């Protein structure tokens, strides 16, 4: 019996992609082996983070890098760094930000449920831009400029293709002219691999990526890449600081006057990262960066082929491929005519989950009668299972 069966759980065949609520991505055996090896001995976490950070910096083109407990943790920590900088007293007070730079400017069209992670650092959003008229709605660059004051800690910029929002390079230009950093939520913007460097190159001061999505690292890992001074603040607010000023490995910072004192367990301490995650993320990131979008795309298409063939000729079902613009991960769209099939897309989703083995599919467009198969987290054997079960469910519904 497996670990999940022992707990009375049925493992799911994941045709829904690298979804956090299902466990994220599938780690390569090389990543799992590195994690097991890392867990077998001890190293100082600050030194391990410095080595990992150097590798992240090299891969992203940023000044510095850091391993966080997920992209959302990266947003919280990055915001805390923008608020406190290297001010130990400010670090000590977070998330109470009264009297500190505690506003984050954001375009209305960029608001999303994950931005809670930014607000968790004790800041308030200052929203700019329109959601409707004129045109499709949007932001004027001067609105961002006018919202930046001496209370502004950062401008937040999730990468969403919302019509009318001001693009990142221009946001960075406006913010930097006023000495304010820009934080980019690029959690799910991989692949394409070019995005590992793109947002840093476009001027972002801090960029977060999920480690547990396309990178294929541990589910509870993520990357922060950006300015060295902000990453230094992140490290001080994140790592366990059960240290004595006399023996602290970074005591030179205090002695040299760069830090007012030793910061102790700070704002980021509840988001700790283990050595296994740091090493696992690093191995996964190197493997991902060395890979190829084209090779992956061909492999993903090939994985969808048997599923597409299995649905051929089923009444009321139309199948097509969709490669989202700028995102080289093909989806198999299954358009379900509820009358001819005898069930809605939602009913098909539920039937697949209730079956043996349970299968999860993409349900983002279910209200339009569409389900989709995402090949990212499937193995070849599982592909066959999805092909057979999906065919059975779509025929049986009638």
Ligand X SMILES: *Cc1c(COP(=O)(O)O)cnc(C)c1O
Which residues in this chain contact ligand X in the complex, by CB under 6 A?
Answer: 20, 70-72, 114, 158, 185, 187-188, 210, 212, 222
List strands edge to edge, sheet with 152-158.
64-68, 222-226, 206-210, 182-185, 152-158, 103-107, 124-128
> Shortest CA distance to 378 belongs to which of 9, 101, 8, 17?
17
Please, what is the minimum distance in Å from the beta carbon of residue 90 to ligand X? 25
Please, what is the minimum distance in Å from the beta carbon of residue 219 to ligand X? 8
Please, what is the minimum distance in Å from the beta carbon of residue 129 to ligand X? 18
Q: Give the three-class secondary structure for 328.
A: coil
Check whether the bond before 95 is cis (ω within 30° of 0): yes
Please, what is the minimum distance in Å from the beta carbon of residue 251 to ligand X? 33
Q: Give the three-class secondary structure for 63.
A: coil
- For ligand X, the closer CB: 122 or 217: 217
Q: Bridge-partner residues for 68, per DSSP?
A: 222
Please, what is the minimum distance in Å from the beta carbon of residue 213 to ligand X? 6
Q: Are strands 317-322 and 331-336 parallel, antiparallel or unpaired?
A: antiparallel
- For ligand X, the closer CB: 187 or 394: 187
Give the residue at shortest CB distance from ligand X.
70
- For ligand X, the closer CB: 78 or 263: 78
Within a 10 A sphere around the Cβ of 369, how many other Cβ atoms?
18
Please, what is the minimum distance in Å from the beta carbon of residue 210 to ligand X? 3
Please, what is the minimum distance in Å from the beta carbon of residue 127 to ligand X? 18
Q: Bridge-partner residues for 206, per DSSP?
A: 183, 226
- For ligand X, the closer CB: 69 or 317: 69
DSSP tag of 322 = E
C-alpha span between 133 and 195 (Å, rounded): 31
- For ligand X, the closer CB: 186 or 366: 186
- For ligand X, the closer CB: 109 or 222: 222
Structure tokens at 3: 């670990």
- For ligand X, the closer CB: 71 or 311: 71
C-alpha span between 298 and 354 (Å, rounded): 31
């Amino acid at each position: 019996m497996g670990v999940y069966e022992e707990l009375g759980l049925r493992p799911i065949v994941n045709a829904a992609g690298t979804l956090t609520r299902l466990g994220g991505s599938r780690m390569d055996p090389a990543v799992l082996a590195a994690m097991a090896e890392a867990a077998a001995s001890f190293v100082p976490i600050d030194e391990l983070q410095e080595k990992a950070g150097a590798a992240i910096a090299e891969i992203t083109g940023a000044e510095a890098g850091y391993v966080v407990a997920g992209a959302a943790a990266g947003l919280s920590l990055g915001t805390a760094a923008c608020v406190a900088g290297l001010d130990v007293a400010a670090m000590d007070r977070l998330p109470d930000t009264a009297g500190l730079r505690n506003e984050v400017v954001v375009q209305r069209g960029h608001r999303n449920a994950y931005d809670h992670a930014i607000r968790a650092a004790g800041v308030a959003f200052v929203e700019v831009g329109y959601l409707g008229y004129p045109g499709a709605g949007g932001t004027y660059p001067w609105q961002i400029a006018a919202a930046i004051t001496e209370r502004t800690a950062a401008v937040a910029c999730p990468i969403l293709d919302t019509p009318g929002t001001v693009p990142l390079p221009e946001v960075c230009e406006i913010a930097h002219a006023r000495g304010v950093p820009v934080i980019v939520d690029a959690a799910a913007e991989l692949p394409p691999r070019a995005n590992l460097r793109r947002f840093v190159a476009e001027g972002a001061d801090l960029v977060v990526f999920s480690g547990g999505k396309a990178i294929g690292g541990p589910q509870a890992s993520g990357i922060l890449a950006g300015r060295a001074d902000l990453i230094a603040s992140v490290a001080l607010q994140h790592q366990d600081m059960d240290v004595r000023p006399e023996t602290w490995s970074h005591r030179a910072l205090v002695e040299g006057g760069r830090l007012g004192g030793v910061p102790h367990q700070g704002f980021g301490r509840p988001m700790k990262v283990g050595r296994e995650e740091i090493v696992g993320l690093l191995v996964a990131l190197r493997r991902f960066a060395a890979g190829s979008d084209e090779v992956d795309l061909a492999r993903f298409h090939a994985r969808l082929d048997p599923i597409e063939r299995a649905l051929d000729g089923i009444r009321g079902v139309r199948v097509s491929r969709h490669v989202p613009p700028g995102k080289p991960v093909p989806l198999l769209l299954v358009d379900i005519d509820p009358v001819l099939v005898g069930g809605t897309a939602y009913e098909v989703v539920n039937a697949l989950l209730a079956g043996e083995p349970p299968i999860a599919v993409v349900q983002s467009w279910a209200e339009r009668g569409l389900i989709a198969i995402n090949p990212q987290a499937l193995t070849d054997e599982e592909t066959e299972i999805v092909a057979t079960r999906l065919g059975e469910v779509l025929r049986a519904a009638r």
